């Protein structure tokens, strides 16, 4: 019989709590241990979790009553390589790498994977029952079940699904565990995705490298999700570069009525592109009197949907400037961090809740309203429960998904006052976003009065509109938020207006306007674009079908795919935006010319649809793999045909020339703009984003010296010793290697320094120890080992600038004629030449290539 440990008495403790919680008395169990039966380990059954932290939480929740708890470390098994299946496939050739049946698995390398796999393998020898307690999504199903399939385990398997990692949720999950056979479709979908990606990615990477990359001396990585993602960014960049702004005009006048005055605007859909026409309209409006046509409507607006991971990443990116990976890391910590566990599973891909969670509403609301910040939010009693597609609780909206929207955890909500002080500042901000979204979903509609007034001025319509709130409803949960459509003219408060009353127009003005290109993507908006890939499809019927799909990639892999494209230098960060490098644009152009399907997000979205259909039984696993293989085979055929007919240009130097991957320095851009004005010429497209394009333009148009050399200092000046030392210091601090192309010239090195200085290394998230199924194609051949001497040289060189700067200052190379500028920037001249004294900011010198 099981024994229990002693239970120490609870005591009331008064605690001063940090925002948003007020000072209050709470009952705490700080001295009380969790009461669990200390049963002996059950030798005939085991529990498999996805990671060690999960194993710890399960052990705290259920002890050993379900057997020994053994953690994996992400995927403990990898798929076999093509040459392991068919030896002839070791030689790269343009063929479809599809084996008979499926690719087998083999033990993965790295970390403690081998030891963990061995422990599970040994336990399976005697286990009669296995409890799979990996993550509740498709990937979690694969991580656990692939081990059982690899070792041909034939005992009983139970599946434990939980969307939060507190003890109560885990105990409940074990209590309602179901036979694993009921999740066969979920496993089949995961297998289909992994197998299809292996076949598609490796087949097309090898084909593209062999057919298109002759002379490139590197692998041309093609990925089923990676390549269309690159295409999304490249298409936007080309759209921006090719955009020709159009000037147009609008006319604004002040309208006077009996109750006051307001602004009216003439802004027709057919833009006014000639100023003289706008002037005629302004002249007609001056002193015009006429009858207003006034329309007043009472409208209502429901709350926004709850958050999935993509919507969280987009919101945090725009509001806080966070990269997508940071949002996921913070959410993961709130989900399973030690002493936290206050939200549900973060890698959500739907924005609905099951109707079974309606009963949790009162407890979550009460727990949140214990805090000062949330207590001011007027959630009605009873809360508003919205069901169906336009609501919050919608069972049908969860079909094909194994977890619901991200919300506060009902089982830890009463512990929020004691958890709050443990949260970091960023974790508090993210929880605030999740909590307010949940409370807003339970509040009344936002009701407002929309007033629209129009005035016909000799055939030209002047218009004004305003919105007056009647009942804030759910908007009270976001007191500082103002939607974009309520800014500018739309935000003006109109005086009371009557239909037919007379208005007098005065002081008309012409406003100069200009069309703008679409904005560049940031990580959040790019992830949203990946999720809504149907927008890139022209076929109306197909667009409607794909709207119900989940886009390209998965919530768990999208940020990693973007990161992989950055590491391969196909994409790069430019401020808060993501832009393609010249290498990325070159690759996109070649692949698009070879076969548009390679870079079409719509094609990938269709394939994702088929893979998702496996989960709900609309598609068989083999059928989904066949569909992906058919697309890959057709593309391989077109690439081979194009090469035989002398088709798309080879990548060659365009891919190798990584120097185009960096933007020019500010000084180069200013110099190029100055030259363009002086000579009355138009700089080439991309000169502001590509250092190679900008340098070529300068070399062609900068005046030549008598000896034929280019005048000025922005040509191909070599990297200075001080500049190289500074770069090495940055490289050592960030744990990166300075690329060879950055060492090609002083300007290229300055650009590299600019793009790497002052950025912090990102903390690796919990899931970063293994790659998900959306694997990236290799960037290059096997990396070379750095010698001890090179490491020693790097360390010594990195330490030199600090020493020089603290004693004599940093050496500078100031070109002739720049004395006054150098002195203003803090430079000094001594016996050894120009230098920057200790404490002077070196960034301005680096931008000019003077380090």
pLDDT at 752: 74
At residue 706 the predicted structure's pLDDT band, cuts being 50, 70 and 90, is very low
Query: In which element (H, E) is residue 291 found?
Result: strand 289-291
pLDDT at 124: 94
| Nearest in space to 447 (alpha carbons), one of 297, 287, 347, 558 | 297
At residue 817 the predicted structure's pLDDT band, cuts being 50, 70 and 90, is low
At residue 795 the predicted structure's pLDDT band, cuts being 50, 70 and 90, is very low
pLDDT at 655: 40
Q: Which of 249-253, 469-473, 486-490 is modeled with the greatest confidence? A: 249-253
What size, in residues, is the chain?
Answer: 851
Q: Is the pLDDT of residue 354 over 70?
A: yes
Q: Is the pLDDT of residue 358 over 50?
A: yes
What's the CA gap between 505 and 428, in Å, rounded? 51
Tens digits of per-residue pLDDT, 536-557? 877 777 777 777 667 888 887 8
pLDDT at 302: 94
**Residues 68-97, mean pLDDT to the nearest whole number:** 94
Query: In which element (H, E) is residue 464 found?
Result: strand 460-471
What SS3 class is residue 371?
strand
User: Cis bond leading into 320, ω under 30°?
Assistant: no
At residue 775 the predicted structure's pLDDT band, cuts being 50, 70 and 90, is very low
Quote the tokens at residue 103: 């690719």
pLDDT at 115: 94
Q: Is the pLDDT of residue 28 over 70?
A: no
pLDDT at 844: 79
For the whole prediction, is pTM greater than 0.85?
A: no
In the chain, what percentage of residues exceed pLDDT 90? 45
Query: In which element (H, E) is residue 604 found?
Result: helix 601-615
Q: Which residue has the higher pLDDT, 278 or 827?
A: 278
Q: Are strands 129-133 and 156-159 parallel, antiparallel or unpaired?
A: parallel
At residue 569 the predicted structure's pLDDT band, cuts being 50, 70 and 90, is confident
**Do 843 and 726 form a contact (C-beta atoms < 8 A)?**
no
What's the CA gap between 360 and 365, in Å, rounded? 9
Q: Which residue has the higher pLDDT, 124 or 804?
A: 124
DSSP one-letter string for 519-565: PPB-HHHHHHHHHTGGGG---HHHHHHHHTS--SS-TTTHHHHHHHH
pLDDT at 612: 82
């Amino acid at each position: 019989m099981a024994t229990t440990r002693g239970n120490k008495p609870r005591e009331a403790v008064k605690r001063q709590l940090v925002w948003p919680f007020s000072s209050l008395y709470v009952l705490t169990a700080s001295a009380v241990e969790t009461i669990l039966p200390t049963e002996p380990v059950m030798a005939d059954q085991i529990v498999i979790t996805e990671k060690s932290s999960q194993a710890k939480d399960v052990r705290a929740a259920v002890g050993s009553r379900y057997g020994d708890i053994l953690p994996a470390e992400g995927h403990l098994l990898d798929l076999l390589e093509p040459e392991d299946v068919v030896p002839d496939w070791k030689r790269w050739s343009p063929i479809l790498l599809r084996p008979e049946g499926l690719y087998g698995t083999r033990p993965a390398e790295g970390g403690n994977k081998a030891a963990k796999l061995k422990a599970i393998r040994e336990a399976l020898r005697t286990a009669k029952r296995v409890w799979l307690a990996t993550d509740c999504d498709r990937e979690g199903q694969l991580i656990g079940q692939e081990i059982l399939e690899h070792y041909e385990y034939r005992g009983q398997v139970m599946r434990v699904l939980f969307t939060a990692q507190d003890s109560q949720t885990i105990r409940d999950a074990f209590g309602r565990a179901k036979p694993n056979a009921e999740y066969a479709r979920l496993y089949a979908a995961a297998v289909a995705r992994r197998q299809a990606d292996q076949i598609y990615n490796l087949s097309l990477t090898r084909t593209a490298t062999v057919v298109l990359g002759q002379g490139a001396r590197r692998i041309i990585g093609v990925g089923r999700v990676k390549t269309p993602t690159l295409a999304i960014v490249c298409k936007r960049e080309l759209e921006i570069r090719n955009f020709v702004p159009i000037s147009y005009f609008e006319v604004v006048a002040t309208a006077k009525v009996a109750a006051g005055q307001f602004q009216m605007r003439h802004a027709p859909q057919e833009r006014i592109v000639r100023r003289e026409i706008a002037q005629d309209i302004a002249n007609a409006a001056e002193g015009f009197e006429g009858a207003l046509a006034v329309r007043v409507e009472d409208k209502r607006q429901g709350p926004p949907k709850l958050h999935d991971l993509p919507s969280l990443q987009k919101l945090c990116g725009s509001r806080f400037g966070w990269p997508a990976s940071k949002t996921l890391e913070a959410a993961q910590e709130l989900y399973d961090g030690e002493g936290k566990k206050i939200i549900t599973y973060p890698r959500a891909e739907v924005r609905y809740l099951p109707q079974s969670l309606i009963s949790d509403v009162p407890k979550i609301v009460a727990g949140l309203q214990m805090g000062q910040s949330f207590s001011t939010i007027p959630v009605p009693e009873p809360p508003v429960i919205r069901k169906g597609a336009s609501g919050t609780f919608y069972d049908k909206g969860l079909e094909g998904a194994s977890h619901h929207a991200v919300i506060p955890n009902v089982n830890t909500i009463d512990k929020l006052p004691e958890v709050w002080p443990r949260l970091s500042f960023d974790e508090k901000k993210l929880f605030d976003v999740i909590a307010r979204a949940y409370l807003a979903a339970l509040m009344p509609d936002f009701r407002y009065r929309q007033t629209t007034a129009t005035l016909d001025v000799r055939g030209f319509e002047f218009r004004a509109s305003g919105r007056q709130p009647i009942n804030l409803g759910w908007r009270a949960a976001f007191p500082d938020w103002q939607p974009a459509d309520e800014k500018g003219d739309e935000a003006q408060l109109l005086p009371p207006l009557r239909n037919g009353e007379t208005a007098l127009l005065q002081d008309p003005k012409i406003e100069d306007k200009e069309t703008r290109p679409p904005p560049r993507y940031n990580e959040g908006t790019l992830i949203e674009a990946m999720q809504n890939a149907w927008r890139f499809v022209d076929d109306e019927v197909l667009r409607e079908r794909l709207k119900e799909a989940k886009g390209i990639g998965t919530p768990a892999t999208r940020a990693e795919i973007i990161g992989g494209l950055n590491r391969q230098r196909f994409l790069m960060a430019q401020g808060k935006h993501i832009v393609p490098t010249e290498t990325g644009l070159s690759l996109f152009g070649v692949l698009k010319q070879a076969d548009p399907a390679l870079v079409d997000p719509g094609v990938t979205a269709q394939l994702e649809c088929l893979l998702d259909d496996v989960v709900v039984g609309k598609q068989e696993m083999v059928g989904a793999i066949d569909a992906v293989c058919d697309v890959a085979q057709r593309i391989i055929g077109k690439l081979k045909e194009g090469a035989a007919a002398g088709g798309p240009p080879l990548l060659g130097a365009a891919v190798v020339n990584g120097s185009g991957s960096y933007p020019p320095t500010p000084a180069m851009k200013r110099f190029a703009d100055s030259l363009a004005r002086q000579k009355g010429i138009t700089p080439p497209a991309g000169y502001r984003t590509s250092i190679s394009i900008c340098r070529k333009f300068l070399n062609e148009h900068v005046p030549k010296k008598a000896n034929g050399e280019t005048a000025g200092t922005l040509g191909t000046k070599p990297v200075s010793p001080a500049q190289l030392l500074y770069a090495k210091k940055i490289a050592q601090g960030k744990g990166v290697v300075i690329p060879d192309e950055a060492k090609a010239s002083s300007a290229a090195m300055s650009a590299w320094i600019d793009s790497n200085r002052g950025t912090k290394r990102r903390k690796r998230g919990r899931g970063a120890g293994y790659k998900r199924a959306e694997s990236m194609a290799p960037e290059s051949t096997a990396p070379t080992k750095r010698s001890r001497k090179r490491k020693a040289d790097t360390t010594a060189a990195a330490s030199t600038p600090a020493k020089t700067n603290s004693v004599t200052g940093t050496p500078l190379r100031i070109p002739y004629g720049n004395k006054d500028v150098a002195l203003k920037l803090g430079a000094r001249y001594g016996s050894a030449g120009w230098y920057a004294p200790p404490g002077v900011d070196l960034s301005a010198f680096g931008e000019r290539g003077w380090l």
